Structure 1
Amino acid sequence: MGVIKMIDRKGRQKPSEMKRLLYYITDLEKTVFEGVKYTHAWNCDTDPENAFQFMRMTQALFHHEEKEKLCVHMIQSFPFDQGVTPKKAYKMGIAQIDRLPEIFEGFEILMGTHCDTGVLHNHFVINRTNSITGKRWEQKNEDLRMIKQESIKICEENGIRLYWAHNKNENTLISTRTRGEYNHRIKGTSWKNEMEKTFEYILKKATNKWDFMLKMQDFGYQINWWDDKDYVTLVDPNQFRCRSTTLNKTWTRSFIEKTLNQNVETEMVKLTPKNEFGYKKALSKDQQQLKGIVQRILFQAISRDDFIKRMETEGYHVSWSDKRKNITLSKNGKTNRLFTLLKPEEWTKEKLLEQFEKNYERNTYGNITDSVNPENKISEDFFDFSNDLLRLNASFNRAIRVSGKYQDLLGNLYSLGYCMTKTEDSFLIRGKNDFQVPIEHLTRFNENDPWTPGKVLATIDRNALYRSQHRKRAQHESAAFSHSARIVRTVGHQIDDYQAQYFGEKLEGQALKELAIKLASTENMDWESINMEFESIREKRGLTW
């Protein structure tokens, strides 16, 4: 570790919240070790009540007492396995502030060293109003980077080895990305991390600009490519946007073009084969939108007439003639061929009719009508024990993100309580109480993007490349997933016990969902928010899995 975290509080900060925070960081049960209290103050007092009065007087002096944000909360944590003592952590915390006067001079700061967990860490509460100049705290990216670099330097001077500090490939903790994005990355629910994996994978497979865009669209991403800008913009099906240079500073447009040319020269990839409908090109934005509609209806319609009727409700006229190989879709004078949108090597008229028959047979399973947000909603659905289909959808999306082999996916699903088997032309997932769903009834991004066997295998192949290139990251993601799987099993057991002991009407619907999320938050909060070691928390709470 040796990590600096800035805790961002959402919404308006009340004076009572600042006061509670000051009392929390100086709590005697946390800051006293072997009779010594490890607290320190700059420009105020170590007593939390006096420190609060000092800070409020300064805010009132410069007319800042009604500001929305009153203080800054910063945490400096240290590795648990390198002999860091409370005294050493305390001294390093003091050095952290004293060695950066250009940032901290004049600010009222209260520090407490917490010694009650397996991971020693310092808490800092900083008054946002400077007691000398009256200026407000302004957290710039460059200042945050200086704070993190100084923390690394202090750790190294005290004999603490940080393996990631000088490794550019693994040095993710020195970046200035938001805490929310970082938390989603370690939980495996980051849409930006998925975008990065796919981009890196396609960059090694594509041969030219159009082939690159086409392959990205197969994974659900749209590419905005401008020749006058040295970056490209990626857009996922939920309209989340990100520049290539934000994912990786080296992924400029010129670097992408150079890499694609090298792929052709070294014959690292095969050229896109020509099919009976000609060479396939990247789809436009309107075609990409139409493709999503077609893919959704393709796994909902139960007959040819039902497919045509559903497309008409979307505003498209369908021309399906037995004398022609292709099917045309028209709207507002624009016509598209169906097999221009889909892969003709995978879909034919015969296969479409076969899919409609399967939909008719599986019509009792239903479909997911609510789109799955790649971050917050997938976390909620992961613990939604009131809706088996939504929870399975979120569980599958979490499991496949950390699966580099087909066997890994089977194992990850099994750890969440599911069993996936391969049928003649698809995959079938089974859960408790004879609950079973074909893979086509789960969605990757939203209802317009259902999973297919081809998408599953392509995603696993992408993950295999990513895991071979970034072993440390892959190990961390796998560990985070295993941790989440243990929490899911624990919450499931607790809910089963609750339902068995409850003699009245059993919980269901929203009440059951809220209970599960509350239990999950209770199990998950401590060691993910303040970096406490999982094993030490389990021993402390007496948890059994």
Structure 2
Amino acid sequence: MAIVHFVNYKRGTQSRAAMRGVMCYVMQERKTAWEDGPLVSGINCQPQSVYDDFLNTKFLYHKDGGMMFYHMVQSFPKGAAVDPRQAHEAARRLAEYFDGCEVLVCTHVDWEHIHSHCVINSVNFETGKKLHMAKEQLQELMRRNDMICQEMGLPVFEPTAQQARGMSGAEYHTALKGQSWKLRLMNAIDACMKYATDKDAFVSLMESEGYQVRWESSRKYITYTTPDGLKCRDNKLHEEKYCKEAMEYEFRIRAELVKRKLRRAAKIDGGIEADESAEQCAVANSADDPAHCDPVRSAAGDEQIYGAG
């Protein structure tokens, strides 16, 4: 059966922009594309308007703060013959555990193992109560996951695999179509940088793909650990844009662009809707860049890259 885990987000790091970034990341067409169309669906919401659906529920109950969302990943063994549509249905059935909550369900097929991301609104649209995942709820969720997988006849992890650290048995294969593990790491960094609003959001997105990131102010380098336990420092990734200093500079630029748009929106409209629109715009435009930006190019041409007037 599948392994389930929740991506950790540090207290105080979740925001509207972070929530939108995670949604855009998990809904990427190149990750979810399958025969009959993208493996993307919503429970109690529509994928096309999921961000607005989440926010409207929060506004309705005046709970637009604190924990904004939960990010759950359901993973199957690498190399196992899992039909992506079955995996998506298993994730949908598991998402129904969060009764009354809006859940975005996206199944990724770009790795050698199938895995599904579930982004869960922290506010219940029926009761207005905030979702809290205590130990008892987590145990019940795991039991339900096992039951669903057994009913659907889905593959089971080997006992030794479940003792693995990090992603447990759902370790992510480090090569795809002949790419080396280091190139695979660079591709993962690029993908996460396109949707991350800040360092904490970047680290969380990398974790959702099975990577561990050690990024500390007291250390000169960022150290990555792949799902298979291979370690690599940022200065070994061949390009300057992957170095700690360059990435920190990139995030400072993004933060300044968000502030600039918020100030402009406040002058024009002065409303919540204007602020929200500005924040969305800054993140959306940065995500449209084909790779995370060269910080020098960003500083020189941020008007063009991010659409800042």
Q: How far did 1:153 drift?
A: 3.1
**Letter in structure 1 aligned against 2:122:** R
Equivalent pair of 1:44/1:110 in contact (CA under 8 Å): yes
Question: Are residues 1:144 and 2:138 paired?
Answer: yes
**Letter in structure 2 aligned against 1:46:** P
Q: How far did 1:60 drift?
A: 0.9
Instruction: Give TM-score, length-normalised by structure 1.
Output: 0.32
Structure 1 regions of 5+ residues with no counterpart? 174-180, 184-374, 386-476, 499-512, 519-545
Match of 2:157 in 1: 162
Q: Deviations over 1:123-147 (max 9, x none)?
A: 1111111001110011101111222
Distance 1:377 1:31 in 2: 29
Q: How far did 1:46 drift?
A: 2.0
Question: Are residues 1:63 and 2:62 paired?
Answer: yes
Q: How far did 1:53 drift?
A: 1.4
Change in CA separation of 1:94 and 1:515 when aligned onto 2, cut-off 3 Å? same
Change in CA separation of 1:110 and 1:494 when aligned onto 2, cut-off 3 Å? closer
**Letter in structure 2 aligned against 1:117:** W
Report 1:378-527 matches (<5 A): 480=229, 483-484=230-231, 487=232, 491-492=235-236, 494=238, 514=244
Q: Which has the larger radius of gyration?
A: 1
Match of 1:84 in 2: 82
Q: How far did 1:8 drift?
A: 2.1
Partner of 2:147, secondary structure, is helix
Q: How far did 1:44 drift?
A: 1.1
**Letter in structure 1 aligned against 2:50:** A
Q: How large is the Cα RMSD of the aligned pairs?
A: 3.7
Distance 2:75 2:56 in 1: 31
Match of 1:97 in 2: 95
Match of 1:404 in 2: none
Partner of 1:36, secondary structure, is coil
Partner of 1:83, secondary structure, is coil
Equivalent pair of 2:214/2:222 in contact (CA under 8 Å): no
Match of 1:2 in 2: 2
Equivalent pair of 2:40/2:104 in contact (CA under 8 Å): yes
Match of 1:72 in 2: 70
Distance 1:149 1:382 in 2: 43
Match of 2:123 in 1: 129
Change in CA separation of 1:142 and 1:494 when aligned onto 2, cut-off 3 Å? same
Distance 2:129 2:138 in 1: 18
Equivalent pair of 1:384/1:516 in contact (CA under 8 Å): no
Q: How far did 1:35 drift?
A: 4.1
Distance 1:378 1:61 in 2: 38
Q: How far did 1:115 drift?
A: 1.4
Q: How far did 1:59 drift?
A: 0.6
Partner of 1:54, secondary structure, is helix
Distance 2:13 2:140 in 1: 28
Report 1:366-381 matches (<5 A): none
**Letter in structure 1 aligned against 2:43:** W
Change in CA separation of 1:13 and 1:35 when aligned onto 2, cut-off 3 Å? same
Distance 1:110 1:15 in 2: 15
Partner of 1:93, secondary structure, is helix
Pairs aligned (count): 198
Question: Are residues 1:30 and 2:45 paired?
Answer: no
Distance 1:377 1:34 in 2: 39
Distance 2:61 2:27 in 1: 27
Partner of 2:47, secondary structure, is coil
Q: How far did 1:383 drift?
A: 5.5
Q: How far did 1:119 drift?
A: 2.1
Q: Deviations over 1:396-438 (max 9, x none)?
A: xxxxxxxxxxxxxxxxxxxxxxxxxxxxxxxxxxxxxxxxxxx
Q: How far did 1:515 drift?
A: 6.0
Match of 2:109 in 1: 115
Match of 1:12 in 2: 13
**Letter in structure 2 aligned against 1:146:** E
**Letter in structure 2 aligned against 1:161:** V
Change in CA separation of 1:379 and 1:46 when aligned onto 2, cut-off 3 Å? same
Report 1:314-325 matches (<5 A): none
**Letter in structure 2 aligned against 1:160:** P
Structure 2 regions of 5+ residues with no counterpart? 168-212, 249-309
Change in CA separation of 1:2 and 1:159 when aligned onto 2, cut-off 3 Å? closer
Equivalent pair of 1:384/1:517 in contact (CA under 8 Å): no
Distance 2:219 2:148 in 1: 42
Change in CA separation of 1:123 and 1:491 when aligned onto 2, cut-off 3 Å? same
Equivalent pair of 1:380/1:517 in contact (CA under 8 Å): no
The higher relative CO (CA closer than 8 Å, separation ≥ 6) is in 2
- Name the % identity: 23
Q: Deviations over 1:227-265 (max 9, x none)?
A: xxxxxxxxxxxxxxxxxxxxxxxxxxxxxxxxxxxxxxx
